[in-house]
Structure 1
């Protein structure tokens, strides 16, 4: 059985660049004088006496010009180090004093600014208060460092906004004709393009190459604060491209092996995965009950500690009829639009766990004519080639294929903060920390719209 990629490709894009300031690191104060914070041990005279603390400040500064400014609410002393004194030497003098518990600079911090990625202003799905995922508030706690996310998809086409984020993957397409790369399984997960002519894939119409896996990967972990392109949700994480979808989709047998391998399991004839993924993204599916082959592979991945995130499907139907989203032990993700409604295409139902931004860019006709709304899609990394790779680009897509990597990126943030999290706990935290969709959802959208900041804060 072939499982087709889930996610409607939208080719229109916008080109206005929005530049935001980078996040600034905390810096010691500069100028003619600097301030330090001194915490004295209980029982020390300077711990309770301002006079003693002031005298101590004078003794430890050159030319006796250090002075006590005030007491903090914690009881510590705020001390000004006078011009001409070495802050480092004054702090060293305090540290050597047995009456001092700690001494530290009175740092100046800056507001947390938006990333300086030029297209960040178009990523409404990350930050808009109405229906965004509230990602920026999570970044001061975790960026996904140390976590690998496997993107089981069409593979990866070279893109400078992802080049430093990718670890070694694998090509699991066993049918050389479907693979379009001249061979079967191998260690090269590069995406040569999944275009096909009329009726080359059963009775399907022709289609251009989607570069689907690269778009998914960008949402998860595109390089951030690099002055270009888009920001990834878990930009400290790594992406592992695992190729299973060719010009005519992908076989269940290949996808199941890919799930096993990506999570660190053994697949006959395939070298061991040296960087097993703690998160797997499956933006793919087909109409069927949950096949035992899928369920067994998913169960194995979960038993190895890997969370499996699956797109619900784009048929505006009950997800119970679409696999592998209808399997057990997965996080099934529906898609919402920019207004916070269930997207018109998104599957729904009791087996949906959560909803995430998937975008909606359909044509709309009114008195003024027919218009499209690419700005309401999910912008990510892509390639401009219609068949084979060409120049890199960024374009908006829509689909539950776009919603799932939002959740996979969030899971990477969670696991980076607390590596001991089990897939069951991850799912529980995701569902417990959603917020209600600001719009409408008919049929069931799980517990609501995922909230990255709230969820990450709930990770103890």
Structure 2
């Protein structure tokens, strides 16, 4: 009697590393905490003044005698002429300074030369660029945001808070091909309907195989179910964790903030007990990108980013990317989707892990809070980028008295 080997892919708990890249590709358990907790780290503030090139300046003269139009023009034009420009007096400010403009835009170096020349004039009280300021994204009121070191500008973080001044992912769709979705106050507003792509009825655990309900039915397993000697496992709710890292709702006074808190999550369920079939995952990639899958309705929300926090090797002696995977990924990228995959958690060369070793995939390794490679992460030339994945070893704690975890805080489910 021959046994057919079933290729299974398991969730790679490297979701933060993946989601760290999701934010750039778009240009991520509800709890409570007391405000003002002394154990919460302070959040670095961002500068509010631009240093962009400018053609407009503010000049304040010391005495009213030097404030006539002719004298002002003479003073400013003399400084501007050194840079091959002329000047124009535009108006007065409420405190008596003058707003003046050069005939051409000056870069930072030339602007500094102009200002130095003006400041050298004994009649000038001060001179400065009339810079443009922009609205800045305030830190969100989510109670666990101060613990989300992976989002901050400190060492090891991805500086997502600065990216929020440019975009928070509004209008973009991120497909999370994983264990499915659960009901969560910090996710529901950003969750699209999605699809359950598990074809096997017993693996799907909902009695009907593939269907439009992407609800995570749990990936728990009994002892010996996944392989000889395998342990009993509770459900991981991995898809919920990944979805929260990517797009947990911000400023709702709940839980955490996502990396791209205005993006929408397209949950596609492919992982059940013991993992998921390659054939289901490949179909999910095609469907998520807007491609046609037999027997499945068209996806009305094609994904800009397809997140694959999963991995495995189909043949240890030939770890090349399976053709089924490669064809699906090529089709998705041809439609304009960016495919991001976990490098893997085996402390091995990422070239042995699929889909990280496939072409047209951005493979992401994981780092800890110091920015160094996490001890569990895969590595090697197949890795394209490293992003926060966390490191929960006791020896990884930067400040043992801070009470701040070194893992990645995100949404979860309390069930087994």
Q: Is the 8 A contact 1:18 1:121 kept in 2?
A: no
SS of the aligned residue for 1:4 comes to strand
SS of the aligned residue for 1:239 comes to strand
Q: What residue is the counterpart of 1:71 in the other structure?
A: 98
> What is the Cα deviation at residue 17 of structure 1?
4.4
Do the aligned partners of residues 295 and 69 (structure 1) sit closer, same or farther apart at CA in structure 2, a change above 3 Å counting? same
Aligned counterpart in structure 1 of residue 341 of structure 2, from 310, 321, 346 = 310
Q: What residue is the counterpart of 2:24 in the other structure?
A: none
2:209 maps to 1:184: yes
Q: What residue is the counterpart of 1:2 in the other structure?
A: 8
Q: Which has the higher contact order (CA 8 A, sep 6+)?
A: 2
Q: What residue is the counterpart of 1:218 in the other structure?
A: 244
Q: Is the 8 A contact 2:176 2:242 kept in 1?
A: yes
Q: What residue is the counterpart of 1:382 in the other structure?
A: 412
Q: Is the 8 A contact 2:142 2:256 kept in 1?
A: yes
What CA distance in whole angstroms lies between the structure 2 residues aligned with 1:109 and 1:17? 31
Q: Is the 8 A contact 2:186 2:254 kept in 1?
A: yes
Aligned counterpart in structure 2 of residue 152 of structure 1, from 170, 173, 177 = 177
Q: Is the 8 A contact 1:314 1:347 kept in 2?
A: yes
Do the aligned partners of residues 71 and 337 (structure 1) sit closer, same or farther apart at CA in structure 2, a change above 3 Å counting? same
> What is the Cα deviation at residue 7 of structure 1?
1.6
> What is the Cα deviation at residue 113 of structure 1?
3.2
Q: What residue is the counterpart of 1:415 in the other structure?
A: none
Q: What residue is the counterpart of 1:268 in the other structure?
A: 294
> What is the Cα deviation at residue 364 of structure 1?
5.2
Q: What residue is the counterpart of 1:134 in the other structure?
A: 159
What CA distance in whole angstroms lies between the structure 2 residues aligned with 1:17 and 1:212? 27
Q: Is the 8 A contact 1:14 1:374 kept in 2?
A: no
Q: Is the 8 A contact 2:32 2:254 kept in 1?
A: no
Q: What residue is the counterpart of 2:271 in the other structure?
A: 245
> What is the Cα deviation at residue 167 of structure 1?
1.0
Do the aligned partners of residues 284 and 67 (structure 1) sit closer, same or farther apart at CA in structure 2, a change above 3 Å counting? closer
What CA distance in whole angstroms lies between the structure 1 residues aligned with 2:133 and 2:280? 54
Q: Is the 8 A contact 2:175 2:268 kept in 1?
A: yes
Do the aligned partners of residues 162 and 313 (structure 1) sit closer, same or farther apart at CA in structure 2, a change above 3 Å counting? same
What CA distance in whole angstroms lies between the structure 1 residues aligned with 2:35 and 2:355? 38
> What is the Cα deviation at residue 70 of structure 1?
4.0
SS of the aligned residue for 2:366 comes to strand
Aligned counterpart in structure 2 of residue 227 of structure 1, from 250, 253, 256 = 253
SS of the aligned residue for 1:296 comes to helix
Give RMSD over aligned pairs. Answer: 3.4
What CA distance in whole angstroms lies between the structure 1 residues aligned with 2:146 and 2:396? 27
What CA distance in whole angstroms lies between the structure 1 residues aligned with 2:133 and 2:150? 31
What CA distance in whole angstroms lies between the structure 2 residues aligned with 1:255 and 1:183? 18
What CA distance in whole angstroms lies between the structure 1 residues aligned with 2:135 and 2:330? 46
For residues 339-374 of structure 1, the C-alpha deviation after alignment (integer angstroms, 9 at most, x for no partner) is: 1111010000111000000001135599xxxx9x97
Which TM-score applies when normalising by structure 2? 0.69
Q: Is the 8 A contact 2:369 2:406 kept in 1?
A: yes
What CA distance in whole angstroms lies between the structure 2 residues aligned with 1:329 and 1:109? 36
SS of the aligned residue for 1:255 comes to helix
> What is the Cα deviation at residue 15 of structure 1?
6.8
> What is the Cα deviation at residue 199 of structure 1?
1.4
What CA distance in whole angstroms lies between the structure 1 residues aligned with 2:160 and 2:14? 24
Which TM-score applies when normalising by structure 1? 0.63
Unaligned runs of 5+ in 2: 1-6, 16-28, 37-41, 49-86, 103-130
Aligned counterpart in structure 2 of residue 296 of structure 1, from 318, 323, 327 = 327
Q: What residue is the counterpart of 2:373 in the other structure?
A: 342
